[in-house]
Every structure is written in C-alpha cells, then in structure tokens.
Structure 1
Amino acid sequence: MTPGEILLPEGRLETGWWGPGPQATPTLVLLHEGLGSLGLWRDFPARLAAATGCGVFAFSRFGYGHSDPAALPRPLDYLRREACEVLPRVLDAAGLQWGLLLGHSDGGSIAAIHAGLVRDPRLRGIVVIAPHFVTEPMGLAAIEETRGRYEAGELRARLARHHRHVDVAFRGWCDTWLDPRFPASFDLRPDITGIRVPVLAIQGEADPYGTPEQLHLLAREAAGPVEVMLLPGIGHAPQAEAPEAVLHAVRGFVARLLPPGGEGGGSDARAAAL
C-alpha cells in the first residue's frame, strides 16, 4: 500500500493506494463498513488489485481509522451526506479518472446512493456487499447485541486497535441506527431508482444484519442491470469469509465493464460510454 492523505475543509482523511495510479488504469474505490476503516480491509485491496489489474483506492471516512473525528451525534441521513457531499470531493482529490465503487455494508449503501443521485460520469458500475436500503428488525437486533459486546469491553478493545477515535467510530454508527427515529427515516428506495450503471450485489445468506431481501429490493428498484450473488453459510463480510468467491465475481464484473484497451482516457470518452 502507498499511504497518503486528503485534506478537506472538515479535516484530514487517511488514504491508501494499491497498484497503478488513476492515469494508468481504471480505479476501484473501496468504501468501508460502519465499523470499518482503511486498515480493516486487510489484504483484500492488494488481492483485488492483483486479480483485476486495476488500481485500488481506499480511505477512512471521518470518525474512522486514523482520519479526523466526526461530530456526534451523526445526522440520521449521514449515509446520504457521505454519498452526495463528501465522496465526490474525495474522488476529485484522489484524481479518479474512471472506474467502479465497491462498498461494504454502510459503504455499499453509500455507493448505491452516489450512483443513484450523483450520476458521476466517471463511474462505470458499482459493487455492493451486504448493503442496506431499509431497516429490518433482525438487523436492528444484531446491532443491539453488538452494542452490548462493545459496552462489555472486549469489542471496544479490539476496535481501538484500528480507530484512533474508537468511541466516535462506534457511537456514530450504533447510536444512529438504534435511534428510535431512524427506521422511519431510513428508506433508500427513492435514491436507488436512479441507478443506471450495472451493479454486482453480493450478500451472505447467514448475514445477521440483513436478509437477501435487501438485494432483491435493489434489483427491483434500480434502473440499470443488477447481478445478485448470494453465498450460503456466509455472514456479513463475504470479502473476508469467502474471499475467493468474491474476488472471482468482482474480477469477472470488472472485465465486462472495464475491458483491456477500452476507453480510459479523457472525459469525452467516459461520457460517451455512459
């Protein structure tokens, strides 16, 4: 990994880059989960770069990893704000030319919102892993159970190894999802109807935070084509629990959308392809 940083008016974001830079090849941009960070992708970015031949860029959102903290409490529409207000500036600062977004959990929701509302001409498609578009009782119950483990101390100690501001990272996610007002306010169906780029949607059938209905909802609502991949016996992090299957699926998806020798040049070529 080549470490770096992005400076926005809100503060500093830690970044990492694997493989070729954005001028040389398409870029896969990774968007982490609600308790994730740049470092918690572990070896997945390096393996993804090797499997696809693309550059891979990742960053920790505000409040996560070694990025600057976020103000709490987070607004109930924090995912939409990340997708529409923060992410476009991060992509500009990173020098993105063309490529895909790949998001896990909260990051998957952010990728889908961005594709549906921002319509970035650099974007060829998105990969969403265990995303959320509506709340489900079983998912909220799983978050409640995770809060208990955090308050017991063991989970907090483990997360503190990866987050400089661990309470900001955890409370910003947990307290927002468990806010009594959140279920009524969280409905991304209007956002994702605008998705016109191809989507690869992956989920473990044993995911405690969401059922396969999340992906079926996306397939029904999105305007563009959606490939759904369900993995039996896999939980909330398929990229960690079934990495070979995920890498194989993403490699094929990338090859169909970003063929070698395809247009990777200027904005006119990118716009013409969409």
Structure 2
Amino acid sequence: MSIAFIEIPWRERTVRVEHEFLQPATGVAADAPLLVFLHEGLGSRSMWRDFPQRLCDAVGLPGLVYSRPGYGRSTPRAADERWGLDFMHRQADEVLPALLDALDVSRPVWLFGHSDGGSIALLHAAHHPTRVAGAVVLAPHILVEEFGLVSIRQARTAYETTDLRSRLARHHDDVDSAFWGWNDIWLHPDFPGWTIEAELPAIACPLLAVQGVDDPYGTLEQIRGIARARPSRPGAPTELLELPACGHDPQRDQPAALIAAVTAFIGRHR
C-alpha cells in the first residue's frame, strides 16, 4: 500500500489528509481518468477495505482513496468545531478541489461516492462540471427522509450502548470526531429541510445512481428523484440500478453485481 498524507488549507487552518493512490493490475494508459472514492458519513480510507482496488482492477483505471478531514487518519475536528448544515457542500466545493489541486490532479476525474460521499460527488459534479468526466453514486442522499432518520437515531443509541464505538475506533484516530460530526448534523432539528434536488440539473456528465432495495438509511426515492431532477441528455445519461437483497452498502452486500454494473457503465461512457 502507498498510504500518504498531504496538507491542504481548510476552515482557516491547515489540515492533513490521509490518501492512497491505486493502480490497476493491468496498468493504465497515460491519459486514463482518475477514479476518486468518496466514503460514507462514518467511513474512512480503510473502511472501504479492498473494494477500491477490486474496482480499479475491473475498470482498468487508477484510483484515489482518501479520508475526509474529521475521519480516518486525517486531521480530526477541533474540540470546539461544529459543522454546519452545509457540511457536504463544503466538502464538495472546498476540500475536494483543494485536495485534487494539492495532488496535481488536473485531468477530469470519475467520482465514486457512497452515502454522504455520494451526495458530495453529486454536488461536486454539479458545481465543477469541467472537472468531472462521470459519477457513480451509491445510496446517495438528495433529501432527508424520516425513514432514514430513524436509523440514524438508532446508530446514536448503538454508539452509546454497544461495541459500535470500539469497532469504529479501528478506523479513526479520533472516533468521537467522526461519529458526532456526522450524527449531530443529521439529527439537528433544522436538517430535515436539507435538499440538493435543485442543484442536480447542473450535472453535465454520465451518472449512475445505485440503491439497495433494503437500505435502512434511504428509500428508492433517493435515486428515482435524481432521475427526475436530472434526466438523461445526449452524451450524459442518467442510469439507475436498484439492487435486491442489498442494504446501505452495495460494495459489501452485492460487490460482484456492483462491479459488473460499474465496469459496463464506465466502459460505455469513458
């Protein structure tokens, strides 16, 4: 593994970002786009396990996996730092561009985002269309559903009463930074009004949206709403994949089906 750290300016300070570049087993062309992985709300670079490498091998593209500030081995939140309701927008518009610039990534990228990372991918694609060649989003959030908030409340209880905290601590230097940074915002009394539906029409690249039928954090309305807000257009299709017997983590519940679908989608639209 080639895990490294790089410093970027963010929120009026310098933060350290844990990241790893991946190479497919078959090698890549010099002009191949980079596949950037954006983790879930409690995720990190390590929590992807071997899935990014498996996908890079299948599609024949290099990859970049990183932990957002507040997660993994990246700089945790400061003790007095509270994220706002726009925290996913700030990741999409501030952190990701700063990271790509710091790593000298100038060519367009493919985004592969899961859950909160899927929402961040959608926002980045909408706001920085010239930087994004395509996007794949798993279990993204485009609005807040009471259905999903029930599971987030249950996660809070589990964090306080079960071994969830110790299991997450294997992946985060400051596990409380990671958990409360995510949970406090999602359960903020104003967060039910959060939505990114109006921003989706600006996405100009091919888009594949994937949802597990049994996802406890969101209904199929999340990806069906994407297709309504941003229907296919010439050269920039919107495709949906609804996976049966699949929860919130298609990369763990249905990895073979997901890799096959993503490989075919990227192959058609590279």
TM-score (structure 2 length as normaliser): 0.91
Aligned residues: 256
TM-score (structure 1 length as normaliser): 0.90
Change (3 A) 1:23 1:63: farther
Change (3 A) 1:237 1:95: same
| 1:26 Cα deviation after fit | 1.8
2:34 is the alignment partner of 1:27:
yes
| Paired residue secondary structure (1:211) | coil
Moved more, 159-168 or 67-76: 67-76
2:240 is the alignment partner of 1:221:
no
2:99 is the alignment partner of 1:87:
no
Q: How does 1:14-163 map to 2 (within 5 A)?
A: 14-19=18-23, 23=30, 25-71=32-78, 72-96=81-105, 97-119=107-129, 121-163=130-172
The answer (yes or no) to whether the contact 1:79–1:110 under 8 Å persists in 2 is yes
Change (3 A) 1:11 1:68: same
Deviations 1:107-158 (A, max 9, x none): 0000001111222x23211000000010001100000001100001410000
* Structure 2 unaligned blocks of 5 or more: none
The answer (yes or no) to whether the contact 1:196–1:222 under 8 Å persists in 2 is no
How many Å separate the matches in 2 of 1:202 and 1:229?
5
The CA RMSD measured in Å over matched residues stands at 1.5
How many Å separate the matches in 2 of 1:88 and 1:243?
29
2:262 is the alignment partner of 1:250:
yes
The answer (yes or no) to whether the contact 2:92–2:123 under 8 Å persists in 1 is yes
How many Å separate the matches in 2 of 1:21 and 1:79?
31
| Paired residue secondary structure (1:12) | strand
- Opposite residue 237 of structure 2, the aligned amino acid is P
The answer (yes or no) to whether the contact 2:149–2:187 under 8 Å persists in 1 is yes
How many Å separate the matches in 2 of 1:91 and 1:37?
17
The answer (yes or no) to whether the contact 2:28–2:60 under 8 Å persists in 1 is no
How many Å separate the matches in 2 of 1:41 and 1:29?
12
| 1:200 Cα deviation after fit | 0.5
* 1:236 paired residue among 248, 251, 256: 248
- Matched with 1:6 is 6
How many Å separate the matches in 2 of 1:154 and 1:161?
12
How many Å separate the matches in 1 of 2:240 and 2:88?
22
- Opposite residue 175 of structure 1, the aligned amino acid is D
The answer (yes or no) to whether the contact 1:22–1:55 under 8 Å persists in 2 is no
Deviations 1:191-232 (A, max 9, x none): 212112110011100000000000011001125421000011
| Paired residue secondary structure (1:156) | helix
| 1:98 Cα deviation after fit | 2.7
How many Å separate the matches in 2 of 1:99 and 1:78?
22
| Paired residue secondary structure (1:135) | coil
Deviations 1:25-56 (A, max 9, x none): 22100000000000000000110111011001
- Matched with 1:267 is none
The answer (yes or no) to whether the contact 1:14–1:60 under 8 Å persists in 2 is yes
How many Å separate the matches in 2 of 1:99 and 1:35?
24
| 1:89 Cα deviation after fit | 1.3
| 1:22 Cα deviation after fit | 9.1
How many Å separate the matches in 2 of 1:122 and 1:22?
19
- Identical-residue share of aligned pairs (%): 46
How many Å separate the matches in 2 of 1:49 and 1:115?
20
